[in-house]
Chain A
Amino acid sequence: MNRQPEPGAAAHWAGGTRVFYAVPLLALAIPLFANPYTQFVVNLMLVYVLVAVGFNLVLGNLGQLAFANTALFGIGAYTAAMLMVHAGWPFWAAIIPAGIAGAAAGFLASVTALRGIRNYYLAIVTLAFGELLRWTYIHGEVATGGTDGLAVPRADFLGIVLDSETARFYVFLLIVVVMVKAISNLLQSKVGRAIVAIRDNELATASLAIPTGRYIVLAFMLSGFVVGVAGSLFAVLLGQVVPESFGLIELILHFAMVLVGGLGSLFGSVLGAVALTALPEFFRGFPGLYEMFFGGLLIVFLLIQPRGLSALCAKAWPGLRDRYFRDR
């Protein structure tokens, strides 16, 4: 990030670097006063931060209506769970393969996009892909455990046994900070610029000697990797992987996180994931009310603030504005 202020790049993220590290540093103290359930919700937020950040890469930055996100999430979760259950791999060794499996699925989605299947057609193809995978989880009982799913064995991360929410929290936090920082670096570089340029005008991007096809594939694969890793964390957090976790309702939740946070904003995806993971907890005592409230809130929020929480925050603290994300 811009430690020395760049002669150009305005003030984007000028205060962002400090905020970037301050938030996880403050978060280190959460286990001191959180009960195990609250800690579980915070851990879930961390998982969803990766889910939203990964989804946003394709949806917001690349501007492609690809809805394979739950498919990527599920592939990551099942890959990690199967490696741990069937092959006896430790959790830490299964994280990267989960990401790679997600990236491979992202690659498949990118091939359809490269072949000119875009917009609504890409949306329906990727939705179908997700449902097809769910069917596979249900019917591939030998590997996936069918509708009962897989019980994930006790996880350990490089010698640390993840048998408490607190232990999981510190490991998850580390993984999330490293990945979000890497994506942030990428989005602020020529790579991020090329991806946004493709969204704005693909033909013109090619006229600048930018290999558009390669960047489309890259964005999809990166998205798949990030969401796949999120899947592996999800598997360990819940202790089980079942097909119903990766259906359409889940997809709508992912979509809402990206939109509420701010389409195309990395910072927004983090905010959106945290906000929409926390929200249901306030309605735990009122079953049935949550869905109503969630739907209503989503409509009202997007009507008055279509650029999301990120634009709202950028107005108050301009230093938090992402590069290539405008609040107008």
Chain B
Amino acid sequence: MAMLLELAGVSVRFAGLQALIDVDLTASGGEIKAVIGPNGAGKTTLFNAISGYVPLAGGEIALNGSAIHGLAPNEIAARGVRRTFQNGGLFPELTALENVLAGLHARIDASFVGILFGTRAARAAEREAVTRARQLLDLLGVSHLADQQVKSMSGGQQRTIEIVRAVAGEPPLLLLDEPAVGLAPPVRAQLIELIRRLAGEMGIAVLLIEHAIDLVMAAADVVAVFNGGAKIAEGPPGAIRNDPAVLEAYLGHV
């Protein structure tokens, strides 16, 4: 499989703290790779590094063979990397539909002058985007939420909307930061199903940060384990479960 994303020797430093140490990691289309590890292992920092929210102290990140490190977050997103945020990255005042429309921003082909004068072309582009956004909400089973303000939704609904918004731009790479936190078990099952569909049907490469081991085992094709900023193991879920380094990271010396 050709690699979509390649990290080579990536390091991130915060004022004396080594948040990521010499990390190599890949992601390829249609594959779900879970990133696990105890708190402070560097998982979210890894996502922030890939999506351009923190600068690298060393190493390289390439998407489809061209370097993306050093670009601004919006530029990296424009090249096809979309992410969700651990603490919720929605626009609370906007409706679900408007949130998804924001995800389609770059695909709405309307010039500034056209918008200013309300030309037919600009209005048509906006209408087209609205149709597309409704389709996406429908596709992922949340069309009934379209015109609700997201701040009035449950945690599970919000996380689903955030995923819909992230995939609206049809990104080849999707980074999901703890999407299952605080979800009730039946909703979690739906979420696993949704993530599997994104990878299986849409061919998206998914990197998934998750604490819930059951969800990781059910959803992921490959698991990468982090501890203290370094990747300590990587492999299929079954093998990782019994890896001595992983057991030590999670349980300490037994």
Contact = CB atoms under 8 A, between A and B. Distances in A.
B74 A209 contact: yes
A118 interface: no
Contacts of B72: 206, 211
Contacts of B149: 326, 328
B106 A209 contact: yes
Interface stretch (A109-117, A164-172, A194-202): A194-202
Interface of B: 51, 53, 72-75, 77-78, 82-83, 85, 89-95, 97-98, 101-103, 105-106, 108, 110, 112, 115-118, 122-123, 126-127, 129-131, 133-134, 146-147, 149, 165-166, 169
Contacts of A9: 97, 130
A297 interface: no
B127 A207 contact: no
Contacts of B89: 201, 203-204, 207
Contacts of B106: 208-210
Interface in A197-227: 197, 199-201, 203-212
20 contacts: A1-B118, A6-B130, A7-B130, A8-B101, A8-B131, A10-B95, A182-B117, A185-B115, A190-B110, A193-B98, A196-B91, A203-B85, A204-B91, A207-B51, A207-B83, A208-B165, A209-B78, A211-B72, A324-B98, A326-B149
Nearest to B52: A206
B73 A197 contact: no
B52 to A, nearest CB: 8
Contacts of B117: 182, 185
Given A8-B130, A207-B73, A186 B98 contact: no
A210 B105 contact: yes
Nearest to B101: A193
A119 interface: no
B4 to A, nearest CB: 17
A190 B169 CA distance: 14
A191 interface: yes
Nearest to A3: B123
Given A196-B93, A200-B92, A201-B89, A209 B110 contact: no
Given A8-B133, A208-B103, A200 B110 contact: no
A207 B108 contact: no
B190 to A, nearest CB: 23
- Secondary structure at the A interface, as helix, strand, loop or mixed, is loop
Contact of B110 (A4, A7, A189, A196): A189
A206 B112 contact: no
A189 B91 CA distance: 16
Contacts of A196: 91, 93-94
B116 A193 contact: no
Which of A9, A191, A207, A211: most chain B Cβ within 10 A? A207
Given A8-B97, A204-B85, A197 B130 contact: no
Interface of A: 1-4, 6-10, 181-182, 185-186, 188-191, 193-194, 196-197, 199-201, 203-212, 324, 326, 328
Which of B102, B108, B165: most chain A Cβ within 10 A? B102
Given A185-B122, A208-B82, A212-B74, 17 more contacts: A2-B123, A7-B127, A8-B101, A8-B127, A190-B101, A190-B115, A197-B91, A200-B93, A203-B85, A204-B90, A207-B83, A207-B89, A207-B166, A208-B74, A208-B105, A209-B77, A210-B102
B126 A206 contact: no
Contacts of A186: 115-116
Given A10-B147, A182-B117, A191-B115, A207 B82 contact: yes
Nearest to B149: A326
A214 B174 CA distance: 25
A201 B105 contact: no
Which of A3, A193, A210: most chain B Cβ within 10 A? A193
A210 B53 CA distance: 14
A191 B118 CA distance: 12
B146 A207 contact: no
A212 B169 CA distance: 17
A194 B102 contact: yes
Contact of A6 (B73, B75, B127, B165): B127
A201 B117 CA distance: 28
Given A191-B112, A207-B73, A207-B89, A197 B82 contact: no
A189 B126 contact: yes
A206 B85 contact: no
A49 to B, nearest CB: 18
A7 B131 contact: yes
Contacts of A212: 74
B146 to A, nearest CB: 7
Nearest to A11: B147
Given A8-B97, A200-B91, A208 B102 contact: yes
A56 B191 CA distance: 40
A188 B117 CA distance: 12
A291 B129 CA distance: 49
A196 B131 CA distance: 21
A182 B115 CA distance: 8
Contacts of B110: 189-190
A103 to B, nearest CB: 14
